[in-house]
Chain A
Amino acid sequence: MTNDPVQPYAVQLINIEKYFGSVCALKNINFNVEKNEIVGLIGDNGAGKSTLVKILTGVFPPSSGQMFISGNQVDFTKYSVQQAHAMGIETVYQDKSLGEKQVLWRNFFVGREITYPFGFINVKKEKEIAKEIMLNTIGFRSKGITVNSKVSKLSGGERQGVAIGRAMYFDAELIILDEPTVALSLKEVRKVLNFVHKIKEAGKACIYISHDIQDVYEISDRFIVIDRGEIISSIQKKDITLIALDDFLLEYAHGLKDGE
């Protein structure tokens, strides 16, 4: 791996470890995501994927290790969700991305409202921009849905579209999707994958987490396999077929069973 100083990684992790009490959730995590690279993060339940995402996005700090975002070292004592946003990292969760009873325009700007003095929200401006994002960034053409619609009216795929569009509008360098397609129908999954393609087209980087290997394979440029808190493999898509990847994961899981 060559670290081109002119083009730093979107994100670089060095020796990240995370303990919950005495439980080790992540150890010895080293990996990079290139600018405009889509990385598929694969691993069993409890492997530590979400924990890694939470460290990346400032929900909590690691127990030790270093992190660089676009070449800038992160100071974990000051790192927060807001700072992650400011440094260009956005997250889309399966079900934690949008307030369901809230209207769309609020969901686009919650946590970083466009305000007048004293913290009063500029509703007109927020609605204008939200409309613009829906039309142009995510190409929302679903009829009957406006910026004044409540999220609860949207289908699962549309919700993820809103969350991804929001991330792209805020000029994220790295968009993390943690199981964005759980419990969605095939048609809705397709919508989400199309949104992810837009991330790639826009020249941004993405970490995509899913238990559906087929989706991960379609979307990703590279796969990172994580098991019980450790990275066990990093494979370029051009070096492996879907079937071979599937076999590898299956064999690995069986190997573990036999070993126990």
Chain B
Amino acid sequence: MSRLGTIARRSFLFGSVAIAGGVALGVWYLRSPGTNPLRPEPDETTLNPFVLIDGNGVTLIAPRAEMGQGTQTTWAALIAEEMDLAWDQVQVLHGPPAQAYYNSALMAENAPGPAYGKSAFQHAVGEALGTLGKPLRMQVTGGSTAMKDGFERMRAAGAAAREMLKAAAAARLDTDPGLLTTENGAVIGPDGQRFPYTELAEEARGHAPREVLLRDPSEWNLLGKPLPRLDMVRKATGTAQYSIDVRPEGLRFAALRMSPRRAGMLRFDAEAAEQMAGVEKIVDLGDGVAVIATNTWLAQQAVDAIEIDWAPAPYPETTDAILAEIEAAFDRAPDSTLLDRGDPDSLPDGASEISAEYRVPFLAHATMEPLNATAHVTAEGLKIWSGNQLPTFTRSACADAAGLPERRVTVHTTLMGGGFGRRGELDFSVLATRVAAALPGTPVMTTWSREEDMRRDFYRPAAIARMRGAVKDGEAVLFDAAVAAPSTARQALERWMGFAPPGPDKVHVEGLWNQPYAIPNARARGHIAPELKVPVGFWRSVGNSYNGFFHESFLDEMAHAAGADPLAFRIALADRAWRPAARVLEAVREMSGWPEKPEGTGRGVAMCFSFGTPVACVIEVAESDGGIRIPRAWMAADVGVALDPGILDQQLVGGLVYGLSAAIMGEITFADGMAEQENFYDYDALRLPQMPEVETRILETQRWISGIGEPGTPPAAPALANALFDLTGTRHRTLPLNRAVSFAA
């Protein structure tokens, strides 16, 4: 087992977690995050792993994947706020893979109990569990965790750097640092003397403080308002560099084909390809073939000319057979029953029962930038340029692939043209390493065609839900849900670490068992299809992406069965469970003017709690000559602390679009063991003419800061399906909706 696997296994054996002491308000005791991985050049100084200063200015390290969600901008703002940097002075870099950059929030998701309405104790348990990320070297961007992770840690890193710089200036002036202030990247002396950080950095190094005081939000200058994103000018001028854009000297371009049946290669014939223009090398990868050429397109032409026989798929060959295996999981004992309240087996006296079955398909990530990475194998070691969400794991996997120790592998994590979970995988970096290893001394970029990207995805799993509920006197009295699917978490953790921790798969049932609705008798069971080997992976909002649809569509059915208004029905249930959930519903009620609506339109509502954030959404649909249109949508989210309202709005809208695209038209089907869709003509997404006008509102009433990259996605599908029901009276229980409904183009 890899070193990583050994550490991980040991770490998961901790039976209990000790929680020590409390933390005085605002004071942050500094624990070293680990060895500083930054290797400053002679004229540079690092004050901690997140702050690098040279003669030209201050560079902040935001070691999280920037895949569009704005994380590097807000991460840098957290540090800059406490350092008193002017925004136009801030530069940001991703930095190298390092334990110091572990994610302290990801493992916290494993704390017991639903995540809403956490007490200080539950929060502390989560924080303690989060420290497991460090021995696991879990430098991962995912689970909408960046702001939970960085909110205190990065302000503390900025404050510590500021205090060090003040101490250096105080030493120069032979005075008390308490008499000094900071502004716009400089320490200001008692008589107004100005010491730019760039001049103090070297002297500041010896002055690391043991504790720092974090500023009250009322004193914030950068946080809390929309800042210009640090990547915006580059992205508007074509100068942003994604991994597909790196051009090291002497670069060659490769295309590859791996098995669309996700198994071995039986034979191939590359005779024709060898003769084609630009071809420099055919690489037999054993389980696939690559062509290295002088141009990506010439490489693609040549690789497509290779005849290949693929071994049979290790899973059923057709969608129907796969779904039958998923359905059979209902006959197995549940993997989890995380919600079991009251007496869900009996029907309360005088209540009326309803039940329904729901289905959703496999989905592709379809990031805008097709998967790619560049590798350069030399006598010194391996360099890799890869837009990835897990740099430490990427480094160890590529080191293994190249047969090198990790210390001889350099990973450059670039900007990403979308991630949505797909770039939290290792395959594209490892394959680029294997291809480049065939041409040592030459950097080789391996770019997947769109077809390869779609056929070789780790899909959002198809899932089936069996729902049962009961209402009485206009209220919900019973909710009993069961969901069946293959386990994404187990497959993904196997790929990351070589093993999956035992215990119930929480991710599989997230969005089903932990929703803030006070229904007296309630149960949620998760059934896993354990043998199903269709490759599945984390897809924006993961389990919530299907459970949100099941939960919120069925709750709508219950509201109608109760003869209640679906929004009022939800507010009443949420109000008794957790006020912030009721508040986001009240917000969309007010924003949309519910229950009033224009003639000829239908409206639907959904509220999903995911990644710590309740999001409510109202969607409006209307008939038109061309089919159903979606004129408007309203969304409200409570994130506890709104660090950048502009980015929060982008993420809510972006999450909605991602969810609507899937709900309306997203579907991967299988035939002959292969995904049948291959490009945007048969796996399309929402286009500008179909885009509703969206109004968003951010609330800050819940106690803890929460995530935003994913929570906008889950309510999209149910709000849309509920709106269609309102308009047409037809209940849609199967996605995608365009199988039954014609939408305007």
Decide whether A and B are members of one complex. Answer: no
- Using a CB–CB cutoff of 8 Å, the interface residues on chain A facing chain B are none
- Using a CB–CB cutoff of 8 Å, the interface residues on chain B facing chain A are none
